[in-house]
Structure 1
Amino acid sequence: MTALADGSDMMGSLRNPAAWNNVYGFRPSWGRIPSEARGDTFLHQLATLGPMARSPEDIALLLDVMSGPDLRQPHGFAAAPVSPLRAADPKGLRIGWLGDWDGALPMEEGILDNSKAALSVFETLGCIVEPVVAPFSAEAIWQSWIDLRSWQVAGGLAHLLQQDAPLKDSALWEIERGLSLSAEDVHKASVIRSDWFQVAAKLFEKYDALVLPSAQVWPFDAELPYPTSINGHAMDTYHRWMQVVIPVSLIGLPALAVPTGFGAQGLPMGVQIFGPRDSDAALLRLGAAYHAATGWPQKHPAM
């Protein structure tokens, strides 16, 4: 319906939708694109704006338009333009495959196979693809995430409780949970975040990029509020089914969601390729090489 789109990504909203719509979505390094200069601009670092498009080249065009420091915000930074984007020569690049995080992340049938097919494209292009043992506790990352997320949501929406505003159950749960957290709870969550950032930085001494599926479930019925189980694993919150995006979001790394074709039911899927902070241009160049080899957004499922 449109050539370019912008959106925001806190918990995968530039990655899940891209996977489910056979397009590209890009979550940039946190701080590259300024957010709205209102409310707190120092503490909350989970969400960022970013572009979506049918090719990494088009992603690069919009990213340059959106990027740049805002003097009203303390954490922004200036970044070199990435457009016009030239595809990388992927030969010899090392890519680490995290899969389902050693079984910690339940996946619907067919998603991992779909992702591996995309990895084979990178191998054909000359990349070295290796499986990576889960580098950090998935549960620790999740606990840090839900505490920091609830704290941020409560900070932004708690005033609605005093206004008797109609809130859906998930929003009310998020606000009340955030208000119940102590300063020590938030500190502990940020220490976990800091530890994971350091572990990830060490991984990127060996790998040029890491890969995870963009989603844990195939596109589902729009009448369903959210999945409550995956392959028999009950989801203990309304957003647990999106846990696969958390390792990237928690520490503000850049991630390119690339389409990976269609499953047995003709539904689209994707993977997220992420790298160290400020590797935005390198990820997009790698994505451009992948796009030239696949061209998924220009294709339709075999029916």
Structure 2
Amino acid sequence: MKIRELNYIVVIIENGFNLSKASDKIHISQPALSKSIKTIEQENDISIFERAKGRLVGLTNAGEILYSYAKKILGLYDDLIKDIREESEVMRGSIEIGIPPLVNSVVFPEVLPELFRSNSNIYFKITELGSQELKKEFLVEEVPIAILLEPTDFHNGSIEEVNIANAEMAAFMSQNNPLATKTILTWKDFENTSISMFTDSFMIYHQVKNKLDQQNLKYKVGFQSSTWDLLLSSTKYSNLITILPTSVSQVAIMDNLQMVPIKKPLYWRVNICRKKKSYYNKIEDYVFKYLVNYFNEHNLT
């Protein structure tokens, strides 16, 4: 279970099993909270709450045990965050973080400003490169913390990597594209299409190209760019199609654009990586743990 999920359970209990009050406390809608609780129970194959006439009225035996542990875990987590923040207050120095541009736009728009604001004594350098180029920089230790896309192909156990975000990939195209009327695409639908793609320094380029080639499809690379917003723009008034994570739709201006899911899609999996060491620079260790804790709390998977 995620920290966020444990917090939901504790808040519900401590508000007398009243979902309305609990949802106000944690700033989500009551239906979303109710759905989250059902998902937690289903995914873990347990019943946490006693129910009567569709309402939560108490805890099961398993719920009592979970509540006891959840209180301890949340207390430890609060202590961890407090200790990390106190440590950051006395730290001075610099750190470089490598992030692919698309990941920076979709995954990091909130956490980086928060990290910068709460650590004014640390100088942050953000290096934006495609995942393939960034991996090379990371392996020669030019960048101590790198955000990379799977598959990273680190097999020798020398790299610590933590998954922080996942999304399916979908097709983006003009609303006037003939394929825009479909509710879902198959890979065969890309036969004889023109594709807008990242340059080959980006992992998504290799994922998409390999998939299309594996399907023995005839297609044309009609446009290439190193920026995701140009890929989208290239499709607005043409028959070009680009394939990007669905989460792009949350940050892009979608005027005249249509996102269409793909059956058996490719997946966009984002990991934070650092080399395993017996000793870490204090700032490097702090920033890595800060980001991991942030994404554990703000589940993007």
Q: Same fold (TM over 0.5)?
A: no
Q: Scaled by the length of structure 1, what TM-score is found?
A: 0.27
Q: Scaled by the length of structure 2, what TM-score is found?
A: 0.27
Judging by fraction of residues, say which structure has more strand. 2
Q: Indicate the structure whose relative CO is greater, using CA pairs within 8 Å and at least 6 residues apart.
A: 1
Judging by fraction of residues, say which structure has more helix. 2
Whose radius of gyration is greater, 1 or 2?
2
